[in-house]
Chains A and B, each alone.
Chain A
């Protein structure tokens, strides 16, 4: 997806995680990974975030328990599809979660301790 890095959600992620000052190659790798996940999910980055949230009656948002659970499964499926294992697998899944976290989705993944 062209221009992914320019999206406000990606900018927010980069700013919150300190990637904004990272070397361009690293930023490119992160964007490519998010892009690959979006293709796997068949959704745009904004839709990924929205799928984990619900609008409340007073106009605010809250976490969608079902949506977040589905997102965890989607991330696990993406990692499995890529055939990743060990630390690489955990870190890749958590980088996707990082994008969601910095956009207001409280979501945790496992730690790589093996």
Chain B
């Protein structure tokens, strides 16, 4: 009993803070998502209507919302594997005994993570510029016509994916480097004595030993990439033709541009459900892979 009391006494401050700053706002948002809270309701609360699940129903029948879901899905499906591959490849490189200046490269690869997104977005806008951009200049040398990167609805999202991958891969790289360094060196020595090739070492030792890290990193990255917002916000403002509107960007416009807080809260919960479903699926797949 005494121990129980003491435990509660220690936990209460933290629980209070979590309750006030997390559970209460989430509950409030859930309630708001069941109303048509908007500018008129802000003026006079009598203009607020309780609409049940109408916001959700409307969203599921709004083509622009599905467009945002599709864009986000595309971004996650292409961006996450690319991002993980880039992180792992660079981690292997900076961790290799054959590489010189590893500390230097580690810093260089990590630099995009800590630079201000808005500042690098400006630089990238110049790189991607249709007429004066470095990228199109390089492509012209191999005979490819200038591509309107941020202005063509087919190319804008790929351009954003490349930008986001470049911006974020350094973070996961650091986690991978730490995991690589914790793999016992004698495993590799034994493999080499048995005459294993580099590929075999990678496939039979490195990847299996990295599995828990891979799971963690992929879950974090999927959750992070689902919340795509800042990149389109500064690069394209959702255009051209809504091709870079993500779910979060859609929510931002509903909530803070149009002040439809009811509908925006509903978007937030739908996004939460999406991330929850995908994460559950990931865990399930990993567990299946482990048991088989």
Binding partners A and B: no
A interface residues with partner B (beta carbon < 8 Å): none
B interface residues with partner A (beta carbon < 8 Å): none
